[in-house]
Amino acid sequence: MSSAPTDTQKELAHLARALKAPRLLAAAQRLAPIARESNWSHEQYLAAVLSQEVSSREASGSLIRIKAAGFDSVKTLEDFNYDFQPAAPRDVIAHLSTGAYLQEGRNIVLLGPPGTGKTHLATALGVKACGLGHRVLSASATTWVNRLTASYRAGNLTKDLAKLRRYPSLIVDKVGYIPFETEAANLFFQLVSSRYEHASLILTSNLPFSGWGEVFGNHVVASAVIDRIVHHAEVVTLKGSSYRLKNTNTTLPSEKQENKAQ
95, containing H or E segment: helix 90-96
Least spacing, CB of residue 222 vs ligand ADP, in Å: 21
Least spacing, CB of residue 129 vs ligand ADP, in Å: 17
- Which residue among 120, 128, 134, 228 contacts ligand ADP (CB under 6 A)? 120
Phi, psi for residue 50 in degrees, rounded to 5: -65, -35
Least spacing, CB of residue 109 vs Mg ion, in Å: 13
Whole-number Å distance between alpha carbons of 104 and 200: 8
- Which residue among 31, 53, 115, 167 contacts ligand ADP (CB under 6 A)? 115
Amino acid at 256: K
Work out the angle at residue 80's Cα, subtended by the Cα atoms of residues 248 and 167, and round it to the nearest 5 degrees.
Answer: 125
SS3 sequence of 122-161: HHHHHHHHHHCCCCEEEEEHHHHHHHHHHHHHCCCHHHHH
Whole-number Å distance between alpha carbons of 202 and 227: 15
Interface map 184-203 toward Mg ion (x if CB under 5 A): --------------------
Torsion of CA 177, 178, 179, 185, to 10 degrees: -90
From the list Mg ion, ligand ADP, none, partner contacted by residue 75 (C-beta under 5 to 8 A by kind):
ligand ADP
Binding status of residue 119 toward Mg ion by CB under 5 A = yes
From the list Mg ion, ligand ADP, none, partner contacted by residue 80 (C-beta under 5 to 8 A by kind):
ligand ADP
Binding status of residue 151 toward Mg ion by CB under 5 A = no
- Which residue among 65, 66, 93, 117 contacts ligand ADP (CB under 6 A)? 117
Q: Tell me which stretch binds Mg ion (CB under 5 A): 2-10, 91-99, 117-125, 231-239.
A: 117-125
Buried b (16+ CB within 10 A) or exposed e, 180-213: beeebbbbbbebbebbbeebbbbbbbbbebebbb
Buried b (16+ CB within 10 A) or exposed e, 158-179: eebbeebeebbbbbbbbbbbee
Binding status of residue 243 toward ligand ADP by CB under 6 A = yes
**Minimum CB distance to ligand ADP smaller for 163 or for 244:** 244
- With CA atoms as reference, report the closest residue to 92 among 234, 203, 229: 234
- Which residue among 11, 47, 61, 84 contacts ligand ADP (CB under 6 A)? 84
Q: Tell me which stretch binds ligand ADP (CB under 6 A): 2-10, 38-46, 111-119, 253-261.
A: 111-119
Binding status of residue 116 toward Mg ion by CB under 5 A = no
Residues of span 148-177 touching ligand ADP by CB under 6 A: none
Binding status of residue 205 toward Mg ion by CB under 5 A = no
Whole-number Å distance between alpha carbons of 210 and 207: 8
Binding status of residue 75 toward ligand ADP by CB under 6 A = yes
Residues that bind ligand ADP (CB under 6 A): 75, 79-81, 84-85, 112, 114-120, 204, 243-244, 262
Residues that bind Mg ion (CB under 5 A): 119
